[in-house]
Structure 1
Amino acid sequence: MRALITGSRGFVGAALMRRLAENGHQVTGFSRQAGDDALQGDLLDPASIRAALATFRPDVVYNLAAETDLKGPPRNGYAANTTGVANLLEAVAEAPSVQRVIWMSSQLVNRPGHTPVSDTDFDPEGGYGASKAEGERRVRAANSGGKTWVIVRSTTIWGPGMSEHYLGILRLIRRGLYFHVGQKPRLKSYSYIDTLTAQLEALGTASDAAIAGKVMYLADSPPIDLRAWSDAFAERFGRRLHTLPEPMARLLALAGDIVSGAGLRSPLTSRRLGNMMTDYVYDTALIDSIAGPPTVSMTEGVRLTADWLIAQDLRTGETP
């Protein structure tokens, strides 16, 4: 491939850049911060998109750029996920070199627990989910600028380099502040970073017939059991996790709601508890048929991620 990756400074974008380069593809990024491996630009600046496409002449574009609310309200109100998508659609339509676009969306186009009846059935979670659903609609309406396209919905992404937002649960485990709720297994379609980048690479090189016009979830298979996943991290951190009955956990979550309402941080709120207790499992048969099954086991992913977090905390002086 000759691939251009928007959002190349992000967790997934940077990991995909490394993977593609290591596997012999020609790759450059597109980011607000220029560098030796990235062209400077912004999805809200149409001229910069056209210039990047004309300069690098990619045959594949990965649109991984997005505005999220993981660090607070987005500075442009999720415009990169809607107007930015529209700008990129117009630019790729005019770019003769581009043959394929992989559009990164999110599982949050449907709230946890809602099972869509079709690829265009949306029940989004929050403003971010709504903006990603709108981005998908725009891709469909424009037929991806006349280029081969696939929409991929990401799930919770974990692994070395993961964002501070998602590291929260691992830090709670390391400090002995995390607990299981009830005895039931909680199945989650999480996505280990190396598995995700392997799947994204495969989508760039697969036949048109395998991907064109499709929507697929990218995640590990089989889904993880949250209890087993958490226990594996606890063991690596030298901890042992305890189990709380559901009624007690709900009372603690209500107390956490009060604390959060007062502007203070709480390790448990009703929303977080609801997410913990809700299974979300997605069908990965389609991506597995294209990319093959994951090559990194949950146990190995836990080991690599836990060791990375410990090393990072040693460097920064973070106490467990």
Structure 2
Amino acid sequence: MITKEDRIFITGGSGFIGTNLIDLFMKKGYDFINLDKAEPIKKDQISYWVKGNIVNMADLESVFSKYHPTLVIHLAARTDTLSTDIKDYSENTQGSKNIIDIVKKYSCVRHLIMTSTQYVYKSLTIPFPSKDDEYIPHTTYGLSKKIMEEDTRHSNLQCAWTIVRPANVWGPWHMRYPNELWKVLDKGFYVHPTKQPAVRTYAYVKNLTHQIDGIINADLNIVNEQTYYLGDLPIDSRLWLEEWVKQLKGSKLHYIPTWIMRGVAIWGDVLGTLGIKFPIYSIRFNNMMEDWYDTTNKTIDLFGVRNENLSDNVKETIEWLKGEGVSFFPYWKKKYGKN
């Protein structure tokens, strides 16, 4: 249970998840500080920010020596999948090792939360790992997080530690989806290749931050040396997409026969070899077709969600697009008439 004596140190709090987590912590009146190399997006969060990089041990030492945190929530990471060179993910490997080392040095820390990803395990034949430390990493990003998890498990930490694996996170302050998927849906350009279910695990960001808050308030005997997938219960991806189209456009999701979409994807592959970008290619097509879901039921049983209603959560995100978020995105600014 968080008390008035607790001091929470967050890394990467200026990012998508961190922005929402800090919103929650501000409402709860927690004592916290955010170390990030980037300034917070929200101006009311700047007073909690310290500029620094987790790859630089001196930056961590500076904060720990002054602040003496009792809880550490490690969010900072490179999260894209663009590179195949593990060296490009030094924030996830060396940076995370630095977090572990500084926590081991300071006995004031009683609980460490290490943020991983669902990408540490992906198998088309065996959908779930049989144990927490079974890995089939997907992409180099997933490999970097596997390394982070193994470092955590083998570090002989004296404090309690918990690993969390966010699912496919969405919601307010996501700075990529408004320019990509949600924009494509709003323009009516998106077509779905099948009505066959493709089950996915989504994580509405405010449900995810609710779960993190539950973990840091839980009995340490329950959460110590545990791994939790963060997110909502798995659903057919069509339901998620259909809800977005309904609320954005008041219309229905468009479908196309699978064989046509597959042919378009092959054509996209050909264009790709010529250096021409095309929105559909075989990897993306296969991702649209396949199941990929996580065992979030364990997390939800213990910590619940803020709101399980998909319609409410989409509505809340669109209200953010119309309000606080609108000035960041020219397309939505034009649509909603903000000058």
Q: TM-score normalized by structure 1?
A: 0.92
Check whether the contact 2:85–2:140 (CA below 8 A) recurs between aligned residues: no
Aligned equivalent of 1:42? 53
Aligned equivalent of 2:14? 9
Check whether the contact 1:179–1:242 (CA below 8 A) recurs between aligned residues: yes
1:316 Cα deviation from its structure 2 partner: 4.1
Aligned equivalent of 1:129? 142
Alpha-carbon distance between aligned partners in 1 of 2:81 and 2:268, rounded to the nearest angstrom: 19
Aligned: 1:163 with 2:168: no
Alpha-carbon distance between aligned partners in 2 of 1:292 and 1:115, rounded to the nearest angstrom: 21
1:62 Cα deviation from its structure 2 partner: 0.3
Alpha-carbon distance between aligned partners in 1 of 2:70 and 2:277, rounded to the nearest angstrom: 46
Structure 1 residue aligned with 2:259, among 242, 247, 252?
A: 247
1:164 Cα deviation from its structure 2 partner: 0.9
Alpha-carbon distance between aligned partners in 1 of 2:14 and 2:68, rounded to the nearest angstrom: 20
Alpha-carbon distance between aligned partners in 2 of 1:181 and 1:91, rounded to the nearest angstrom: 49
Aligned equivalent of 1:217? 229
1:294 Cα deviation from its structure 2 partner: 4.1
| Gap regions ≥5 residues in structure 2 | 40-45
Alpha-carbon distance between aligned partners in 2 of 1:89 and 1:165, rounded to the nearest angstrom: 32
Equivalent position SS for 2:109: coil
| Gap regions ≥5 residues in structure 1 | none
Aligned equivalent of 1:27? 32
Check whether the contact 1:5–1:27 (CA below 8 A) recurs between aligned residues: yes
1:190 Cα deviation from its structure 2 partner: 0.5
Aligned: 1:64 with 2:69: no
Equivalent position SS for 2:88: coil
Aligned equivalent of 1:99? 110
Aligned equivalent of 2:159? 147
Aligned equivalent of 1:90? 101
Q: Percent identity?
A: 27
Residue type of the partner of 2:242? D
Alpha-carbon distance between aligned partners in 2 of 1:313 and 1:241, rounded to the nearest angstrom: 24
Alpha-carbon distance between aligned partners in 2 of 1:72 and 1:127, rounded to the nearest angstrom: 7
Alpha-carbon distance between aligned partners in 1 of 2:253 and 2:204, rounded to the nearest angstrom: 22
Aligned equivalent of 2:294? 282
Structure 2 residue aligned with 1:117, among 126, 130, 135?
A: 130
**CA deviation vs aligned residue, 1:72-99 (integer Å, no higher than 9, x gap):** 7899610111111111111001112110
Between 255-264 and 232-241, the greater mean CA deviation after superposition: 255-264
Residue type of the partner of 2:200? K
**CA deviation vs aligned residue, 1:114-155 (integer Å, no higher than 9, x gap):** 432221111111110000001000001103x32100101111
Q: TM-score normalized by structure 2?
A: 0.87
1:292 Cα deviation from its structure 2 partner: 2.0
Between 107-116 and 207-216, the greater mean CA deviation after superposition: 107-116
Alpha-carbon distance between aligned partners in 2 of 1:167 and 1:210, rounded to the nearest angstrom: 40
Call closer, same or farther: CA 1:177–1:193 in 2, change over 3 Å: same
Call closer, same or farther: CA 1:308–1:76 in 2, change over 3 Å: farther
Call closer, same or farther: CA 1:49–1:158 in 2, change over 3 Å: same
1:304 Cα deviation from its structure 2 partner: 1.9
Query: Superposition pairs for residues 153-302 of structure 1, below 5 Å?
Result: 153-164=165-176, 168-221=180-233, 223-238=234-249, 239-302=251-314
Residue type of the partner of 2:264? L
